[in-house]
Amino acid sequence: MSEFRNKVVWITGASSGIGEAVAYEVSKNKPRAIILSAPVQNLRELESVSAKCAETGVLSHVIPFDLSQSSEIKLAYEKVSQLFDNIDIVFHNGGISQRSTVNETPVEIDKKVFHVNFWGAVELTKYLLPGMIRNKSGHFVISVSIAGLFGFKLRSAYSASKHALCGYFESLRCENFDKGIQVTLLFPGRVNTNISLHALTRDGSPYGIMDHGQSGGISVGKCAKKIVRAVKRNRKNALIGGKELLMVYFKRYLPPLFYYLVNKVKPT
């Protein structure tokens, strides 16, 4: 069991959506402290989340930074290192989605999605992993999405970045299984968040529309409870969502049905 009590927990993407809900759920489990991060433009929202977490009696710190900026990641790590000797649990939840086709998307947009979703998590992990290995204890929790298990329309770079996260952190898990390092890969399906509103279009502007499938997804509160339960149980992988999760099993056991349906399902 991976308990939160008296642990230092760092959550990226904590200003809204799943990250915000996870912060509230973790706070109920009496950690020693919780660190909340998101880009500085979301500072007001972060501070609001921090205040709500503090109502449970937990020590809460706000450390804003942009996952696409190496200098900001390094500075954030240095600030956290001044506060705590080690980080016990990291939720890599920060990320950005996409709503544009392969053909119309400039490679600069593809790279931006990768910088935020993949390289940001990798860089922060490289700062934190050595300390976890020294302490023979640490847990990385990665919000992958079922888009990390199969590609889907209008999400090419997003899906590719999520597949990359799977490969990277599965490798990290294998390399450090005997050093007290745990990795939990989360595969949320449709969750009612604002992710589609901020998804990048072909010119880099926000999509600005709530996907029908997204609005009909499970609540962030229910999602967060399942996430925290998976972490407590040291689950290696956790599928979270509704009937859309059937697509994962169709791909594995009934490929012809999967490929028929994936072309029929509306992408927004």
Return d(Cα 96, Cα 211) in angstroms, integer: 15
Q: In what order do the strands lie in the sheet with 8-11?
A: 59-62, 33-36, 8-11, 89-92, 138-143, 181-188, 237-240
Residue ranges in the chain assigned as alpha helix (H): 17-27, 43-54, 70-83, 107-114, 120-135, 156-175, 212-215, 220-232, 246-253, 255-262
Residue type, position 257, single letter = L
Residue type, position 117, single letter = N
Dihedral angle at the C-alpha atoms of 206, 114, 89, 47, nearest 10 degrees? -30
Among 127, 158, 249, 260, the active-site one is: 158
Cβ contact 94:13 at 8 Å: yes
Q: Is 127 a catalytic residue?
A: no
User: Which residues are marked as active site?
Assistant: 158
